Amino acid sequence: MSEAPLGGKVAVVTGGGAGIGYALAEGLGRRGAAILIADRIGAEDAAARLRDQGLRAEGVTADVTSEAEMAAMAEAAERQFGGIDILVNNAGIYATLTPKPFEELDVAEWRRVLDVNVIGTFLCCRAALPALRRRGGGRIVNISSGVAFKGNPYMAHYVSSKGAVVSLTRALATELGRHGVLVNSVAPGFTLSDGVRRNPALVAGVKEASLRTRVLARDMLPADLVGAVCFFAGPDAAFITGQTLVVDGGAYFH
């Protein structure tokens, strides 16, 4: 394999300011891609950390629920790097949630989770599509979740949102194949990201149960997702679309 299998490519990573998103941006950059990090907080600082490693990176402050800001994100990628080849839809709400019974979830929280996790993914894809088409095709990698298949309790809104991401991945794959755009998703297990570590109630409610169900009985870290995302973004996945790869240490066999 080439030392830079993504050399000459441009990747946009949403939610890339920290945690999983930053790890993915770094992994794509180390494989040769130029990186545009989009996030509500910390995008420019994250890009500066990548540049300190000798990688090509820029940051843009953007909210995935804003049509205007997603359009500006796509324009920034074209202005800074000449286009978009890879879109990683990582931005989402999870780390700030508190597990609670279905009947205790309020409508406002449901709407916010769906707005970011589902509508946000749609808006990112729609904003990036013209740039992807101008490059003759590309890759969209959506970050879903293993909970979409396991139906975990006490997070009904989050589980529903990630199930929608899996279905959206399949629908977009059928529509965008004619443009040479391949659409896949990666479904993580419970991951000890920066944000999750700052939510003790979430860790207490989920970590132990996750470890018990894994074949590989250790904590999952953001770095564990990098290989799967870079695979879908790279040349070895050139005939794969509409698929979801579960990365959870063997908790769910998909």
Which active-site residues does the annotation give?
Answer: 158
Residue 159, Cβ neighbours under 10 Å: how many? 19
Contacts for 94 with CB less than 8 Å, ≥ 6 apart = 145, 158, 195, 196
Contacts for 79 with CB less than 8 Å, ≥ 6 apart = none
The C-alpha atoms of residue 59 and residue 61 are separated, in whole angstroms, by: 7
The C-alpha atoms of residue 163 and residue 169 are separated, in whole angstroms, by: 10
Identity of the amino acid at 204: A
DSSP state of 215: S
